[in-house]
Structure 1
């Protein structure tokens, strides 16, 4: 008997609504997965993964479906809105991309990135937030952090931090001391580059919010942070724009050696 997949809830995100629509229209037109794949030039399994939300479709796929279904630009616009909208499920998707990446670039200007935090620092951040379940939120962050650190031999990390991250006391002096010692240890790893944008650099593009760039084998993706969430970005043009922004922020940063010295200066303040 054929395997019947549960339909995705289209109310969860625009990506789920798009995946739901792909399956609805294919079945409405009486096409099999294989036949649909022939329309857009991909394998049966690829269509299945798109409809299950495991793989993101591309512009040419949506254009060909609009032609086949005579839907104008509906599928092309659904893809556009999915890319532009905040995705509540972004954390799960970006974690998948992190598994495939060989280079991760991070910029944070408010707090230490989760992947680089000590557990005490993470707990202080969790308690400062408003989750319904502090323990569950903490468990999710620690699990992601442990996985990230466990794979650090498999990829490079380029991290840019604003000096305000060092100056902001999260969890008290003792927590900050341990956190800065942790950063210094990470900065000694050959695959890890840590640079700080000092206050003396003045205004820079990083004041708009955090960002993350992931280099995969075939393409790059990005994440732009914002209040109440952020946006996972897969459009090549937007990803390039964020890559340029990261480089421009980096042009304001101190060297790796000077950044370590700056971290040590703050470490003395917390001792």
Structure 2
């Protein structure tokens, strides 16, 4: 079904089905002949772009001679792939393509983030979020803006979930703290919020000061997503004017990870970063 947006569940299932097909040494056409699943549908299933039907998955498992224990796990994964995400309640305002990122973020164990102009959404206060969205789209109706604010606040529950809260390591360029978003008290509250969030064991914040000069990620902000499951490879995320990009080839991910490690060395240590943030908070008082 062309046009179906991939979710993390579908991507996971697709990766497993592709691995099983390759293990069976079958081409797409050979898999079609053995399973009765068209090559087009198979291709879309393997890339996460198809609605998942159990009968198709069973037919493919038969074609790949999957053992019982593998069949059970894959069929469980197929059922999970079609579960609705919490973000679907915001379909009326959800930006195009964001549902894929939210499903990836929901499944993540940790995020490595480099930001250059704005506080990461998971660390924003309501007023800061409201001011940022209003600046980005001055003509949006108030009701729509408030729905987007609620969406962002809902995302933040990942950081405090009871089981395996999301780990976040954020490196912010000094410009993130210097750029005034909203009124003075909005910015001050946001900076104080960063201090409070940094006290959580699953959150690390570093500041890359202007005096650090040129650095490894001068090309712009990015996110690296890591998963608990060893079968889920790391994936990158870059939000740009042309749309969301997901670098996932091993070489691409390695380059992004290398950049992040260089940034951790160029930035102030977490301890010194907190002192720097406190200094900014006093300046805003």
Same fold per superposition (TM over 0.5)? yes
Residue 71 of structure 1 is matched in structure 2 by: none
Q: 1:160–1:195: 8 Å Cα contact kept in structure 2? A: yes
TM-score with structure 1 setting the length: 0.70
Relative to 1, partners in 2 of residues 1:151 and 1:222: Cα closer, same or farther, differing over 3 Å?
farther
Residue 126 of structure 1 is matched in structure 2 by: 133
User: Please, which runs of 5 or more residues in structure 2 have no aligned partner?
Assistant: 15-27, 42-54, 84-94
Query: In the aligned structure 1, how far is the partner of 2:262 from the partner of 2:104?
Result: 24
Residue 95 of structure 1 is matched in structure 2 by: 102
Relative to 1, partners in 2 of residues 1:254 and 1:138: Cα closer, same or farther, differing over 3 Å?
same
User: Please, which runs of 5 or more residues in structure 1 have no aligned partner?
Assistant: 1-7, 56-86
Relative to 1, partners in 2 of residues 1:157 and 1:166: Cα closer, same or farther, differing over 3 Å?
same
Q: 1:13–1:88: 8 Å Cα contact kept in structure 2? A: no
Residue 203 of structure 1 is matched in structure 2 by: 214
Q: Matched residue of 2:122: which SS?
A: helix
Instruction: Return the match for 2:271 from 225, 243, 257.
Output: 257
Instruction: Return the match for 1:191 from 202, 211, 216.
Output: 202
Moved beyond 6 Å, runs of 4+: 47-53
Residue 60 of structure 2 is matched in structure 1 by: 36
Q: Matched residue of 2:112: which SS?
A: strand
Q: Matched residue of 2:257: which SS?
A: helix
Residue 239 of structure 1 is matched in structure 2 by: 253
Relative to 1, partners in 2 of residues 1:47 and 1:223: Cα closer, same or farther, differing over 3 Å?
farther
Residue 114 of structure 1 is matched in structure 2 by: 121
Instruction: Give the CA RMSD over aligned residues.
Output: 3.4
Confirm whether residue 167 of structure 1 aligns to residue 178 of structure 2.
Answer: yes
Query: In the aligned structure 2, how far is the partner of 1:169 from the partner of 1:28?
Result: 54
Q: 1:109–1:206: 8 Å Cα contact kept in structure 2? A: no
Deviation at 1:148, TM superposition (A): 2.4
Query: For 1:50-89, what aligned pairs fall within 5 Å after superposition?
Result: 88-89=96-97
Confirm whether residue 215 of structure 1 aligns to residue 239 of structure 2.
Answer: no
Query: In the aligned structure 2, how far is the partner of 1:252 from the partner of 1:32?
Result: 51
Instruction: Return the match for 1:150 from 160, 163, 168.
Output: 160
TM-score with structure 2 setting the length: 0.67
Q: 1:121–1:176: 8 Å Cα contact kept in structure 2? A: yes
Q: Matched residue of 1:193: which SS?
A: strand
Deviation at 1:52, TM superposition (A): 10
Deviation at 1:213, TM superposition (A): 1.6
Query: In the aligned structure 2, how far is the partner of 1:163 from the partner of 1:170?
Result: 14
Query: In the aligned structure 2, how far is the partner of 1:33 from the partner of 1:102?
Result: 27
Residue 268 of structure 1 is matched in structure 2 by: 282
Relative to 1, partners in 2 of residues 1:52 and 1:100: Cα closer, same or farther, differing over 3 Å?
closer
Q: 2:160–2:166: 8 Å Cα contact kept in structure 1? A: no
Q: 1:109–1:207: 8 Å Cα contact kept in structure 2? A: no
What whole-Å deviation, never above 9, does each CA across 1:229-258 have from its counterpart, x for those lacking one? 321233333222211121122221001121
Relative to 1, partners in 2 of residues 1:97 and 1:265: Cα closer, same or farther, differing over 3 Å?
same
